[in-house]
C-alpha cells in the first residue's frame, strides 16, 4: 500500500504543536509520574507542572508526535526520579537530625553528633557556606538555582561547596577536633 500525503507523520516543531502533544499526553504522563513517585504521589501535580515548564522551553524539532511523546515520557520519568531522590535525601537528613535512625541508638547518636559538629563548624567558618550546602544538598537545589537565589556567581557556589566538603572531612576525621576545624584560617 502506497502512502499518501495525508498519511505522512506531521512534524512537531511549533509551540502550539508541543502544547497539543503535552495536552494529549497529560493523563498518561500523570500516571507515569504517580507510579514513579510511589508513596510520594501527592507531588504528582507539582512534577507535572515542572514537566510542562521544561517542555515549554524545549526547542527540539520532532519528526512526528510519537517522537515528541517519547521525549515527554523520558522527561517525566527523570523529573519524578529526581523529586524522589530529593525527598529521600531530606528524609534521611531529618531522621539524622531528630535521632530517628533505624540502626539502633548508638549509630543514631553518633550520626546526630556528627551532623551537629558539622553544622557548628560550618556556621563558625561561614554561615553562607552552611546556607549553600543546605540549599544544594539538603533541599536538592541545582547550583545555578542556588546562585540565583543567593545572588552569587556559580563559581562562588562551587567555592562554598568545596569549602563545605573540606570542613566536613576535617570534622569527621579523627585528626582534628570539630571545634578547631577551620580551613583557610
Residue-wise pLDDT tens digits, 93-116 = 777 766 655 555 566 566 667 777
- Chain centroid to CA 118: 22
pLDDT of residue 37: 86
Give the pLDDT mean for 60-88.
85
Nearest to 43 by CA among 72, 73, 74, 84: 84
What end-to-end distance do the CA atoms of the chain give, in Å?
Answer: 78
CB pairs under 8 A, 24+ apart, for 133-139? 133/160, 133/161, 133/164, 136/161, 137/89, 138/89, 138/90, 138/93, 139/86, 139/90
Q: How much is the pLDDT for 105? A: 56
On whether the CB atoms of residues 55 and 25 are closer than 8 A, the answer is no
How far is 131 from 137, CA to CA, in rounded Å? 10
Q: Which domains does the chain have, with CATH numbers?
A: 10-87 (1.10.1740), 99-180 (1.10.10.10)
Q: Could you tell me which residue, 73 or 117, shows the higher pLDDT? A: 73
Rounded Cα distance, 55 and 171, in Å: 43
User: Is residue 24's pLDDT more than 60?
Assistant: yes
Average pLDDT value for the chain: 78
Quick check: 74 pLDDT over 60? yes
Nearest to 130 by CA among 95, 23, 79, 138: 138
* Phi, psi (degrees; rounded to nearest 5) at 174: -75, -10
Contacts of residue 142, defined as CB under 8 A and 6 or more positions apart, other chains included, come to: 136
- Over residues 32-53, the pLDDT tens digits come to 999 988 888 888 899 999 999 8
Higher-confidence position of 18 and 166:
166
pTM for this model (two decimals): 0.48
The predicted-structure confidence for 116-139, as pLDDT tens digits, reads as follows 787 788 888 778 888 888 888 777
Dist CA 30 CA 23 (whole Å):
11
Q: Is the pLDDT of residue 162 over 80?
A: yes
| C-alpha–C-alpha distance, residues 42 and 107, integer Å | 32
Residue 115 DSSP symbol: H
Can you give the pLDDT at residue 181? 42
What's the pLDDT at 79? 92
Amino acid at each position: 500500500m502506497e502512502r499518501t500525503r495525508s498519511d505522512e507523520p506531521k512534524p512537531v516543531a511549533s509551540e502550539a504543536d508541543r502544547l497539543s502533544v503535552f495536552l494529549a499526553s497529560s493523563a498518561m504522563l500523570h500516571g507515569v509520574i504517580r507510579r514513579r513517585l510511589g508513596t510520594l504521589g501527592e507531588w504528582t501535580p507539582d512534577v507535572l507542572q515542572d514537566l510542562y515548564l521544561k517542555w515549554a522551553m524545549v526547542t527540539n524539532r520532532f519528526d512526528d508526535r510519537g517522537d515528541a511523546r517519547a521525549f515527554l515520557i523520558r522527561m517525566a520519568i527523570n523529573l519524578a526520579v529526581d523529586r524522589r531522590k530529593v525527598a529521600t535525601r531530606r528524609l534521611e537528613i531529618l531522621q539524622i537530625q531528630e535521632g530517628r535512625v533505624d540502626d539502633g541508638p548508638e549509630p543514631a547518636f553518633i550520626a546526630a553528633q556528627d551532623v551537629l559538629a558539622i553544622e557548628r563548624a560550618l556556621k563558625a567558618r561561614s554561615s553562607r557556606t552552611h546556607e549553600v550546602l543546605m540549599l544544594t544538598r539538603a533541599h536538592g537545589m541545582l547550583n545555578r538555582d542556588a546562585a540565583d537565589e543567593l545572588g552569587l556567581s556559580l563559581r562562588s557556589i562551587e567555592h562554598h561547596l568545596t569549602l563545605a566538603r573540606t570542613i566536613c572531612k576535617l570534622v569527621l576525621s579523627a585528626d582534628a577536633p570539630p571545634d578547631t576545624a577551620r580551613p583557610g584560617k
